[in-house]
Amino acid sequence: MEDVSTYGHVAMRPSVRLATTQQLVTITVVVSRAWVSAVHMDIKARGAEVGVARRGGLALAVCAAALLLTGPAVQAAPRAQAGLPGPRPGCPPQQGVVAPAAAPWAQQELGFASVWKRTRGGGVTVAVVDSGVDANPQFGDRVIPGPDLVAGTKPGIPPGADCVGHGTAVASIIAAAPVPGVSFMGVAPAARILSVKISGTDTFPTSVTPQGIMDAVQFGADVINLSLATPDDVQGLRNAVEYALRHNVVVVAAAGNDIEQGSADGNEGTGPFYPAAYPGVLAVGAIGPGGVLAGFSDRYTPVGVTAPGVNVTSAYPGTFPAAYDAVQNGTSFAAAFVSGVVALVRSAHPGLNAAQVVARIEATAHGGTSPGTGHGMVDPVRAVTAVLPAEQASAAGRQAGAAPSGLSTRTVALAAIAGAFGLVVVVLAAVLVIRRRQGTGPSGRHAG
């Protein structure tokens, strides 16, 4: 085993060849220029490269395939996504239980459902660089199986399978949609999850993690959740985080858990922990009921905000409805709540860049008073709805310096007005070549 770090819960050598698939699609669509732009960005967020055949005039990046890729806002009936792995004997060693009947305290404390009329995180892809993601009806069809950088290390385990339960738990806190009879739900139920598997154990190799981060960027992630921590400042890990930030990706990381002396993996004492301590990363500490900082949440990592991380409920590998865990503890799960809030903000405020999203979330948090608490507990409602003077001034400056452009306001008109609604009808034969890339990556700990 290489130098080992851990996931952020209180708790390998990949060799993957690139593979591509191609599919030819002919489509007829009704579009405007704004719709074209939105759908193009949607496909880009899925990690696809889109080539559109041209036949004179304006070249259109029209992708009706996005209509198939966008999952429904609410699942009509509990049904797991076809193709996602499920639990296997010993993978994980223990399976989930039925969710508690009452709404979990964390969901009540954050109150994020009150902003769902404005945004549910639609159009945003959150990469979970973790232990894989197993099927659960609350994911609907919104999980993208990304690279498995440790595939084949355990015989009989399908690619992407979560033999730890950590990745599934994190993903569910971020994006589990409401389903009848289940009290648990995630923060951004219309966001997509990109699963990038970097480990099949409670630890993660820091040699693989940088590749997982870069793969997440290349697959079109808008947010990368890193619920893992190492006390070592690994150059490759630093470089990968900087790469993501340069590509306008919000990187959210667990602040790390202070562990007892003499731990099996050799990571003793306190932080700072990485990647949370890198500049530009939104580091997240854990609180319990009442907003008190958890005893295990590290005080030396430069925390941006805090979120629930004590006795929180999450999905967990198992046979639905016995597919939950109600006693999760760790900064891993606090980071997941914040990644969900980032998805809501990026969906509601698409004009903000990654640094502005982080600034908005920190500016709207409340209650930070001591080391390890940063700006305080994340506030999903204020993060989405607050009017911030700094953003208004920035927007006014951009408008003053922007040159007028008639082309940007034109409607793509290649046919006729349809009916009394005045819709522009465009009949377009587009050839879409969608190529999906799959890729690979020294070692760390889950921060759960």
Spatial separation of the C-alpha atoms in residues 210 and 143, rounded to whole Å: 21
Q: CA nearest 64: which of 21, 23, 27?
A: 27
- Hey, which residues are catalytic here? 130, 166, 332
Structure tokens at 34: 């704004």
Q: What is the CATH number of the domain that holds 158?
A: 3.40.50.200
174: which residues sit within 8 A by CB, 6+ positions away?
126, 128, 186, 187, 188, 191, 193, 225, 336, 337, 339, 340, 343
Residue span of the structural domain in which 100 resides: 4-447
CB–CB of 288/308 below 8 Å? Answer: yes
CB 180 within 8 A of CB 332: no
What total number of domains does the chain contain?
1
Report the predicted TM-score, pTM, of the whole model to 2 decimal places. Answer: 0.74
The pLDDT tens digits along the chain (448 residues) read 334 466 666 543 232 222 323 333 333 333 344 433 444 444 444 443 333 332 333 333 333 333 333 433 443 445 556 668 888 888 999 999 999 999 999 999 999 999 999 999 999 999 999 999 999 999 999 999 999 999 877 788 899 999 999 999 999 999 999 999 999 999 999 999 999 999 998 888 889 999 999 999 999 999 999 999 999 999 999 999 999 999 999 999 999 999 754 445 444 558 899 999 999 999 999 999 999 999 999 999 999 999 999 999 999 999 999 999 999 999 999 999 999 999 999 999 999 999 999 999 999 999 888 899 999 999 999 999 999 987 876 666 666 655 444 433 333 332 333 333 333 323 233 322 223 333 333 356 677 7
Distance CA 6, CA 205 (A): 9
**Spatial CB neighbours of 97, under 8 Å, sequence gap ≥ 6:** 316, 318, 322, 324, 325, 326
Phi–psi pair at 109, nearest 5 degrees? -65, -40
pLDDT at 154: 79
What's the rounded Cα separation, in Å, for the pair 277 and 266? 20
First to last CA, the chain: 21
To 5 degrees, how large is the angle CA 215–CA 219–CA 224?
70
3-state secondary structure of 39: helix
The C-alpha atoms of residue 190 and residue 344 are separated, in whole angstroms, by: 9
